[in-house]
Amino acid sequence: MAEETKTESKPLTTGFLSSTQLMEIDACTNCGECMKWCPTYGVYNDKPEITPPLKIKAFRDLMGGQHGLRAKIFGPKKLNEEEIDKFTYDFYMCSTCGVCGSVCPVGINTVELWESIRANLVRRGNGPYEKQKFFPQLLYKDRNPYGGKAEERLSFVPPDAEVLESANIAYFPGCTAAYRQQTLGVATVRILNALDIPFCMLGEDEWCCASVLVRTGQREIMQEHANHNVDAFKDRGVETVLYACAGCIRTASIDWPRWYEGYIPYKNVPLSVYLRDKIQNGEVEWKHSLNKKLTFHDPCHSGRHILHHIGNDWTFEAPRDVYHAFPGAEYVEMERSRELQRCCGAGGGVKAGVPDLALGMGSARVKDGEDAGAEMMSSTCPFCRRNIMDGRNAMGSKMGFADQVEIMAVLMGLDVAIPPNPYLEYQEWDDVLGDRICIKPGDLEPVKPDDIEGD
């Protein structure tokens, strides 16, 4: 009872909201356009309260009772804890994908607004949602969300690969490629080596980009992670950092500069952009042909989230140019693509906090691919890869899935086998050239160059 009274007395504040965001809360006209596009509402279509106009209205009502004219005269309305709990639930049924902001006719920057309101919910003790609350302690303890050991961060790197201690170019694999989706890391290292690009990685010194903290409103150790990673690159004299993870490049490009205490001298480049240049310069030698209908899932974080930061060409065209260069690939576009793509369901803390919703969204994206006639879907993000494969498995589809770098490495005839390491049990992949899916270590061996007949 004493605990209840203490919680009830806490106000819900607007402390993390800018003056522009306060105006945005009043600017929503309830037109409903965003509701047609919202991927979480697409799955939970009996819950309109999770959509932008109703979330904004609910927050406006809560704030009105606390800070409006009536509250100034008669005192703030007592917060109803059940109402706040319901509001918190509705607020976290969102992958912060941002398509609502892309279609909003009054230009509300919804992703920023959702994240700021979540930060206020966390401050009051209502957010985050379910397992999302473990992220800060996991990151504080191991500096990654998977409980991986720092000294094993590069355990995916094949022993014969060449990775330097310092170089002008760095590759930031991110936690998911390092510990859970290691084929991406192997493929990237193999491609960079095959193209004779000297590069370094931070290894033990690499900390999580901390995207998941900002997306779920838990900002307290974000600055430590931004400072640590940026300083580590500076110490190595890095001029260009390559990212093959959408969440990492969004966070490094937009969030780290907000928290980092100083000048950031290097530039952040999506790996697709770098690889497109190499392909267009004639530096890539292809050994195999894909011979499949292939479609691309634009990740939200390296798409809509950074579109206005790095531009249309780097965001949407570079990855497509790489796919178009793959020998034997028949590229098909999904109806929802580029700025209007449908989120895979992994982001915004949804994968950890609301796994059923994440699965439903992943399956919906696979259905989009099937409707486009694709035999294989691909993306440029390990987290999209995991959730779309999970969605595919849940719905029993046979659609193949592989990251862009996995396909590229195989078509270049490179050995993408993951070396023995403590995280092997978590790995899973699909055939790039064949049609086997869900291959696990010890189950079926991955296809190696020697096994492949020349095309």
Query: Which of 108/447 has CB closer to ligand SF4?
Result: 108
Minimum distance between the CB of residue 112 and ligand SF4, rounded to whole angstroms? 11
For the residues of 366-417, what is the DSSP string, one character each? HHHHHHTT-SEEEES-HHHHHHHHHHHHHHT---EEEEHHHHHHHHTT---P
- Contact map string, positions 385 to 414, toward ligand SF4, x by CB under 6 A: ------------------------------
39 makes contact with ligand SF4 (CB under 6 A): yes
Q: How far is the CB of 393 from ligand SF4 (least distance, A)?
A: 22
Q: Which is nearer to ligand SF4, 39 or 145 (CB)?
A: 39
Task: Work out which of 12, 94, 269, 364 binds ligand SF4, going by CB under 6 A.
Answer: 94
The distance of closest approach from Cβ of residue 211 to ligand SF4 in the complex, given in angstroms and rounded to an integer, is 15
* Cis amide bond preceding 128, omega within 30: yes
Under the binding rule (CB under 6 A), the answer on residue 40 touching ligand SF4 is: yes
User: Of these, 17, 100, 254, 384, which contacts ligand SF4 (CB under 6 A)?
Assistant: 100
Cα separation of 452 and 288, whole Å?
Answer: 9
Q: Binders of ligand SF4: how many residues, by CB under 6 A?
A: 26
CB atoms within 10 A of CB 440: 13
Closer residue to ligand SF4, CB minimum distance, 112 or 406? 112
Residues found in the chain = 455
Those residues with Cβ within 8 angstroms of residue 255's Cβ, 6 or more apart along the chain or in another chain: 209, 210, 211, 214, 222, 226
The answer to whether residue 97 forms part of the interface with ligand SF4 (CB under 6 A) is yes
From 24-32, 72-80, 221-229, 374-382, span contacting ligand SF4 (CB under 6 A): 24-32
> Of 17, 21, 44, 53, which lies in the binding site for ligand SF4, with binding defined by CB under 6 A?
53
Q: Provide the 3-class DSSP secondary structure of residue 91.
A: helix
Q: Does 14 bind ligand SF4 (CB under 6 A)?
A: no
Q: Work out whether 280 is an interface residue with ligand SF4 (CB under 6 A).
A: no
Burial code (b: 16+ CB inside 10 Å, e: under 16) for 297-335 equals bbbbbbbbbbbeebeeebbbbbbbbbbebbeebeeeebe
Q: Do residues 178 and 427 touch, judged by C-beta distance below 8 A?
A: no
The single residue among 13, 18, 29, 291 that binds ligand SF4, judged by CB under 6 A, is: 29
Cβ pair 349, 216 in contact under 8 A: yes
The one segment of 93-101, 315-323, 374-382, 417-425 that binds ligand SF4 by CB under 6 A: 93-101
Smallest separation (angstroms) from ligand SF4 to the CB of 256: 22
To ligand SF4, the closest distance from the beta carbon of 107 in angstroms equals 8
How many whole angstroms separate alpha carbon 317 and alpha carbon 52?
A: 29
Give the interface segment with ligand SF4, choosing from 25-33, 65-73, 242-250, 376-384 (CB under 6 A).
25-33
Output 185 or 347, the one with its CB closest to ligand SF4.
347
Residue for token pair 């990237």: 188
Beta bridge pairs of residue 331: 294
- One-letter identity of residue 158: P
Of 95 and 315, CB closest to ligand SF4: 95
- Sketch the per residue contact string, 334 through 353, with ligand SF4: x for CB under 6 A, - otherwise: ---------x----------
What's the min distance (Å) between Cβ of 342 and ligand SF4?
9
Closest CA to 37 of 349, 443, 368, 382: 368
The binder of ligand SF4 chosen from 52, 217, 247, 319 (CB under 6 A): 52
Among 11, 23, 45, 106, binds ligand SF4 (CB under 6 A): 106
Residues contacting 347, CB < 8 A, separation 6+ = 95, 96, 97, 215, 247, 300, 301, 383
Told to check if 54 binds ligand SF4 by CB under 6 A, we report no
Exposed (0-12), middle (13-18) or buried (19+): which is 146, by Cβ within 10 Å? middle
The reply to whether 98 sits near ligand SF4 by the rule CB under 6 A is yes
Alpha carbon distances (Å) from 206 to 162, 203, 211, 334, 404: 18, 5, 14, 35, 23
Q: What DSSP line would sit under 205-247, residue for residue?
A: G-----HHHHHTT--TTHHHHHHHHHHHHHHTT-SEEEE--HH
CB of residue 21 vs ligand SF4: minimum separation in angstroms? Answer: 13
38 near ligand SF4 (CB under 6 A): yes
| Residue 104 within binding range of ligand SF4, rule CB under 6 A | yes
Please give the structure tokens belonging to residue 321.
């140019």
Q: Is residue 99 near ligand SF4 by the rule CB under 6 A?
A: yes
| C-alpha torsion sign, points 395, 399, 400, 405 | negative
Give contact residues for ligand SF4 (rule: CB under 6 A).
Answer: 28-34, 37-40, 52-53, 94-100, 103-104, 106, 108, 110, 343
